[in-house]
């Protein structure tokens, strides 16, 4: 079935979608190659928007126009989250041999952060950074339909990465 171009007095085949409304990709008209070029040349997505609206659009485009939440900026909030995010699974702090625990260049906090990210003590910064990117992709709420369990895991990973960046990251 041949669809005719929606341009006035045109008899060519309409093969190219041209939006009717700015924010509605479901409403469009079909144009031929010649008329889609004219349409695209004259199309201005930001037409009838003031500077504030354009600036807001550009900033929100950085997060794919989805709302975001801050993890928090106050030092107390960070410390509360950090202290609760890590567990002493090896029972080091409660054991009697805590004083004999092997001392290395890496602090226990950094070691715990590496454990949260599933990394060993001898890892390089580039590997930490790559692992963080991998984990963010894996546990991001958009990939997991907003599941709170994955969101909490992502918070722990982000806190661990922040700790490692602060102490081991490239300056």
pLDDT tens digit sequence for 42-66: 988 888 889 999 898 888 888 777 7
Q: Please indicate, yes or no, whether residues 46 and 121 belong to a single structural domain of this protein.
A: no
Tell me which of 14 and 67 has the higher pLDDT.
14
Burial class (CB in 10 A: 0-12, 13-18, 19+), 168: middle
Residue 135's SS3 state is helix
Q: Please indicate, yes or no, whether residues 118 and 149 belong to a single structural domain of this protein.
A: yes
Listed in sequence order, the DSSP H helices in 43-144 are 51-61, 75-85, 108-116, 125-139
- CA atoms of 20 and 4, how far apart (whole Å): 17
Last residue of a domain, one of 68, 97, 117: 68
Q: Please indicate, yes or no, whether residues 94 and 118 belong to a single structural domain of this protein.
A: yes
Per the structure, the count of domains in the chain is 2
Last residue of a domain, one of 68, 99, 125: 68
In the structure, what pLDDT confidence band is assigned to residue 74 with cuts at 50, 70 and 90? low
Mean pLDDT within 118-129? 88
Q: Tell me what the pLDDT averaged over the chain comes to.
A: 80
In the structure, what pLDDT confidence band is assigned to residue 86 with cuts at 50, 70 and 90? low
Last residue of a domain, one of 68, 97, 114: 68
Name the pTM for this structure. Answer: 0.40
- The answer to whether 163 and 106 are in contact (CB under 8 A) is no
Helices 148-167, 125-139: inter-axial angle, 10-degree rounding: 160
pLDDT of residue 18: 93
pLDDT of residue 139: 84
**Domain that includes residue 102, residue range:** 75-167
Q: Please indicate, yes or no, whether residues 113 and 152 belong to a single structural domain of this protein.
A: yes
Q: Please indicate, yes or no, whether residues 105 and 154 belong to a single structural domain of this protein.
A: yes
């Amino acid at each position: 079935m041949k669809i005719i171009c929606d341009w006035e007095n045109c008899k060519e085949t309409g093969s190219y979608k041209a939006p009717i409304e700015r924010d509605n990709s479901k409403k469009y008209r079909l144009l031929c190659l010649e008329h889609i070029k004219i349409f695209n040349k004259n199309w201005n997505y930001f037409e009838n928007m003031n500077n504030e609206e354009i600036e807001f659009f550009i900033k929100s485009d950085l997060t794919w126009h989805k709302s975001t939440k801050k993890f928090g900026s106050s030092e107390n909030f960070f410390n509360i989250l950090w202290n609760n995010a890590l567990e002493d699974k090896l029972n080091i702090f409660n054991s009697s041999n805590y004083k004999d625990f092997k001392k290395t260049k890496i602090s226990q906090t950094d070691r715990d952060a590496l454990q949260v990210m599933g990394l060993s003590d001898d890892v390089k910064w580039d590997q930490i950074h790559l692992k963080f990117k991998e984990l963010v992709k894996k546990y991001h709420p958009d990939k997991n339909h907003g599941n709170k369990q994955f969101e909490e895991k992502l918070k722990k990973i982000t806190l661990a990465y922040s700790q490692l960046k602060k102490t081991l990251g490239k300056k």
